[in-house]
Structure 1
Amino acid sequence: MDAPVRSSESAGALGGRDLALGAIDLALLAAIITAGQLSHGVDPLAEPLAALETIAPFAVGWLVMAPLSGLYAPGVGKSLVRSVRATTVAWVAAANVGLILRASPLFDGTATWPFPLVITGFGLLALVGWRGAYAAYARSGR
């Protein structure tokens, strides 16, 4: 198993590239959830608080679990295998955190069947797809 290679400069701090990748990750998650809301007749522009309340638990899950999974460790973004592995671990964990928070009294929402499968599956496809494409691009040296 590959251990993340850390330099003294990058240990413990996110760089500009990591922040940009994280922002894209969150924007992609928000887009997936918003698309789901639209497919269920919820207008995020008419009900912005409801939209944010749906996105927030999964964003919190991602913000906690992505760094813990090693997704932002140096070198992960350029390795297709490491990127896909870390993204998969991060999203499955983040989706579970989001589902737990969504079902809690902290948020107005439920996690009725088959929503856990749908959010986990679509999130996995979108995040692994985009992170895999980015890893291939970064590896090409552009």
Structure 2
Amino acid sequence: MSVSTAGERRIEFSMTTAMLALGDIVAITLFVAAGEYTHGFNPLVDVGRVAGTLAPFLIGWVLIAGVSGLYAESSIDSIRGALGWTFLGWVLAVVIAQALRATTVFHGNAAVTFALVSIGVGGCLLCLWRGIASLLLGR
């Protein structure tokens, strides 16, 4: 992704970007499900709780990824760019997720420790996925 994409479409509809989106959802869901499991909830049984925890992260990610061009094919052209932009996007998505969790709409609350764990664990999973995608799907 480069500055030259500034005037172009931020979301491209293609098989590549569909694969990116699917992998992103899997990575974020895995992060949330693992977290719920470590806190004593069974993600396969407590589906509503997992969905309630997952929703703010997906909302934050879709907002940031959509406006920043992370769903453009060029976002995975270079592995270095893919990892950097993905991690930065995830940090901003976590900020949005924490703000949403601070409302009465979503369960939980905004907590610095949870934000840091979210950035670290979720960021690692997303970057791992986006790095693999860059190697396999990038141009």
Give the distance between the partners of 1:69 and 1:106, measured in 2 at CA: 26
| Residue 3 of structure 1: aligned partner | 3
Give the distance between the partners of 1:62 and 1:113, measured in 2 at CA: 18
Q: Does 1:91 align with 2:90?
A: yes
| Residue 112 of structure 1: aligned partner | 111
- One-letter amino acid of the structure 2 residue matched with residue 43 of structure 1: N
| Residue 43 of structure 1: aligned partner | 42
- One-letter amino acid of the structure 1 residue matched with residue 3 of structure 2: A
Higher relative contact order (CA 8 A, sep 6+): 2
Give the distance between the partners of 1:47 and 1:19, measured in 2 at CA: 28
CA contact 2:56–2:97 (8 Å) conserved in 1:
yes
5+ residue gaps in structure 2? none
Given the superposition, is the C-alpha separation of residues 129 and 17 from structure 1 closer, same or farther in structure 2, using an over 3 Å criterion?
A: same
- Determine which structure has the larger helix proportion and give its number: 2
| Residue 33 of structure 2: aligned partner | 34
CA contact 1:4–1:76 (8 Å) conserved in 2:
no
Give the distance between the partners of 1:58 and 1:118, measured in 2 at CA: 13
Structure with the greater alpha carbon radius of gyration: 1
Given the superposition, is the C-alpha separation of residues 11 and 24 from structure 1 closer, same or farther in structure 2, using an over 3 Å criterion?
A: closer
Quick check: 102-111 or 73-82, which moved more?
73-82
Question: How many percent identity over aligned positions?
Answer: 30
1:27-60 CA distance string (max 9 Å, x none): 1101111001001101123221111000000011
Given the superposition, is the C-alpha separation of residues 134 and 4 from structure 1 closer, same or farther in structure 2, using an over 3 Å criterion?
A: farther
* Equivalent residue pairs, number: 139
Q: Does 1:73 align with 2:72?
A: yes
What SS does structure 2 have at the residue aligned with 1:44?
A: coil
Ranges of 4+ aligned residues in structure 1 off by more than 6 Å: none
Please, what is the CA RMSD of the aligned residues? Answer: 2.4
Given the superposition, is the C-alpha separation of residues 5 and 112 from structure 1 closer, same or farther in structure 2, using an over 3 Å criterion?
A: closer
What SS does structure 2 have at the residue aligned with 1:109?
A: coil
